[in-house]
Structure 1
């Protein structure tokens, strides 16, 4: 662990809120906002469009898209990444992050295959379908919520806790998932 990570961990441990308190605060923060975020027409429409566009992809095609995404990170040309970061849903996610004033470190919306639909910032990969943020939400149906542990995120250099939930359409049918990484250092 890097020296800064150790220092942050010690600082976090020294706060009045312990890990259980942080987990509860993060859960409550996200849970109270799920109805608002889930009802955003721009997010629902983007997920539904992605579901249609990706309906016929097989595993090889998904893995190829994921490999293309990973190869584009840090490159000037990003034909796979750019559409996910510049669509209207991504703009809505960036507005959510900005309104959160530092409480939200990362936010991603995924389709029913676990592929990124929109993200506030570039993620390390395109396919989330093999990760708990997706496997512990969308496949379990509407109302599913998954909460990870407080962990040090190398990309943001913050202690975060990921909370994911199933996104459903107006009829309650699951259409995708959303992951919100809460900056644990802002919760006390």
Structure 2
């Protein structure tokens, strides 16, 4: 049986890649890029302002907001999504995305209950509180970060990793939210 180069590429492409192979590159990206702007005052103030509103939300309210967000994805009217993607913090995130020249695929900032505060674009849901990007950062503490496995992202149509970290109030050192940055995995090699 003759094995062609195409067959080898097909097998390699079908083989899942685990995040551990990328962890050194992900750590370097976190330290060299994300940490330099994730604590920017524009993001911190946006999170703090939203925390004043959402801190008292119960799970039913959070679930309803998430359901509403999901129903608005792709709709003409997006009163839940628009405030998250059209604010000064979202503009700042898009600026970071643009500076990355395609390396960053998406960025989302979350508040203390895991709801989106600002995003570089529309993502699939509003509540991140049930996902590792939030649970392994904000819920853990000020120095926490999380690296995802490499996955095909439906919204960006790229193989990406997600690099997440806790955002802290620079005045108190307390955790106030988290950020998740989608990075094109191929750029980390």
Q: TM-score range by the shorter chain?
A: 0.7 to 0.9
Correspondence for 1:162: 162
Match of 1:33, SS? helix
* CA offsets 1:3-61 (integer angstroms, 9 cap, x no match): xxxx7984697xxxx96443321221122234322331100000000100112211111
| Range with greater deviation from structure 2 (151-160 or 127-136) | 151-160
In 2, the alpha carbon distance for the partners of 1:59 and 1:21 equals 36
Q: Tell me, which stretches of 5 or more residues in structure 2 are unaligned? A: 1-8
Mapped pair 1:62 → 2:38 = no
How high is the TM-score relative to the length of structure 1? Answer: 0.88
Correspondence for 1:117: 117
**How far 1:176 sits from its partner (Å)?**
0.3
Q: Report the number of matched residues.
A: 179
In 1, the alpha carbon distance for the partners of 2:120 and 2:163 equals 16
In 2, the alpha carbon distance for the partners of 1:114 and 1:9 equals 38
How high is the TM-score relative to the length of structure 2? Answer: 0.88
Correspondence for 2:148: 148
Mapped pair 1:131 → 2:128 = no
1:1-188 aligned at under 5 Å gives the runs: 10=12, 20-170=20-170, 171-188=172-189
Indicate the RMSD between aligned Cα atoms, in angstroms. 2.1
